[in-house]
A and B are shown apart, each in its own frame.
Chain A
């Protein structure tokens, strides 16, 4: 029996796994201590729980527990990494390289850096959403201190070639920071194999709680340092002050442990469902896959349905199915997705896109229902679309002088 609404927006956030919630609960009530309280059992208990969770988190990404700095989430970790490196390595240079499909937490932080006197190169991604490695290498200057490239994109799910990126960075003695919020817990991420020096990620994208994330900061080969962005009691080895969110950290640890144990089986199951959804929806006339077909997260697909508008499309089924769109109408700015536009998509295709993010609890029955609902709505709206009628009559839409408003 299908239960509504169906959640297919797992790139926005994920539900907490019940096992995560169970692990967290005691730390709200009985074991409520402050992990920094050194002189009584409440504090010791909290500290022990944090230490254990730090190990769980580190293990998922192949790091040492001492290299994990807990933050309030990936946005804070992005800020800490970029601003922290910019300030710490000021004597070496002021140039940062990133790309134009990064999350706003990275892009806006880079804009801030520019105001502070830094120089930022925004690489343009190719049509498939990946950076051109030759362009990346060519952008490196003597003053370059950091390459900041996301592990996987939140809108289209494409996975950047981190190993190749870090090899180039090493050659030029530049640090690599990656916002891996969408990748960690979904695909194998190993900071040593991938050659990453700093990495941001978040619990709520991997069935953990909101309000907790981490920045990985390499301690060996090379030893990386960042200046603190929040001053106070000197928690997290002085890099991030503030009383530790013990229940959140415990939940984060548990979420990482589950991901590590179940990733292989889950990827197999979820990617099969994703492939089914993607294949069936691409059978619709004039529907286009956005982003690289191969180098992509197992649980996401982003498709444009030409001649129908994304928000109008979602309205056809959003009582029962939750997805998201790159359409302007879904954002406050009335601008369509900058990520899709960066791939070279026209505004019309960007307006017509839907992102489907599957997850741990997605069933085949839900996917079958989604295929049916989306297909029906696309067909219904096309019958109502003047653009579809013109397309069917063979009229070139570019030949029309549209009144831009």
Chain B
């Protein structure tokens, strides 16, 4: 199976690899997947508390090239978005952007789950109600 150019580029030049201070109140962390399934994503957002805009995003991923690319792309899209807009990122837009084949769609689903988990972690820390999502994104 050949990878798309975009997947290869994200894999070799991943954007925003790293770790944010998870103890900070304005940092939300989402850890999804499982080692036994062959992919684990940790995605973090740092929110500007006055504007509600995501000023930084970082990821670390254990997984195949498509999983790495999906999370790298997700951090790029998150930066500069408001938390409310970030919730709307849909896995299918990741699939389209990266030209993921059907067997790799779960990588994009995982990235979407990671975004939502990070946002909920941020909301929880700040006394906001956790958002409920459709069954379709919970795996």
Chain A positions within 8 Å of B, measured between CB atoms, are: 307-309, 311-312, 315-316, 327-329, 332, 334, 336, 346-348, 351, 383-389, 397, 400, 402-405
Instruction: Say which one of B27-35, B45-53, B85-93, B119-127 lies at the interface with A.
Output: B27-35
List, in ascending order, chain B residues with CB within 8 A of A385's CB: 60-62
Please state if A351 and B35 are interface contacts (CB–CB under 8 Å).
Answer: yes
Indicate whether B74 reaches chain A with its CB closer than 8 angstroms.
no
Interface string of B99-122 (1 = CB under 8 A from A): 000010010011001000000000
List, in ascending order, chain A residues with CB within 8 A of B11's CB: 312, 315-316
Chain B positions within 8 Å of A, measured between CB atoms, are: 3, 8, 11, 14, 17, 19, 31-42, 60-65, 67-68, 103, 106, 109-110, 113, 139
Please state if A384 and B42 are interface contacts (CB–CB under 8 Å).
Answer: no
Least distance between A8 CB and chain B CB atoms (Å): 19
A346 to B110 alpha-carbon distance, docked (Å): 22
List, in ascending order, chain A residues with CB within 8 A of B32's CB: 403, 405
Please state if A384 and B36 are interface contacts (CB–CB under 8 Å).
Answer: no
Please state if A405 and B37 are interface contacts (CB–CB under 8 Å).
Answer: yes
| Given known A-B contacts A312-B67, A334-B103, A347-B38, A405 and B139 have beta carbons under 8 A apart | yes
| Given known A-B contacts A332-B103, A386-B31, A327 and B37 have beta carbons under 8 A apart | no
Please state if B64 and A404 are interface contacts (CB–CB under 8 Å).
Answer: no
A347 to B61 alpha-carbon distance, docked (Å): 17
| Contacts A/B (CB < 8 Å), 29 sampled | A308-B62, A309-B38, A309-B39, A309-B62, A309-B63, A312-B11, A312-B62, A312-B64, A312-B67, A312-B68, A316-B11, A328-B38, A334-B103, A336-B38, A347-B38, A348-B35, A351-B35, A351-B36, A384-B14, A384-B17, A384-B60, A386-B41, A386-B62, A387-B40, A402-B35, A403-B34, A405-B33, A405-B34, A405-B113
Please state if A329 and B38 are interface contacts (CB–CB under 8 Å).
Answer: yes
Of the candidates A336, A384, A397, A403, which one forms a contact with B33 in the assembled complex, judged by CB atoms under 8 Å apart?
A403
Please state if A386 and B34 are interface contacts (CB–CB under 8 Å).
Answer: no
Of the candidates A334, A346, A386, A403, which one forms a contact with B61 in the assembled complex, judged by CB atoms under 8 Å apart?
A386
Of the candidates A311, A332, A347, A397, which one forms a contact with B65 in the assembled complex, judged by CB atoms under 8 Å apart?
A311
Given contacts A328-B38, A386-B62, 16 further A-B contacts (CB under 8 A): A308-B62, A309-B63, A312-B65, A312-B68, A315-B8, A329-B38, A329-B64, A348-B35, A351-B35, A387-B35, A387-B62, A402-B40, A403-B34, A403-B139, A405-B32, A405-B106
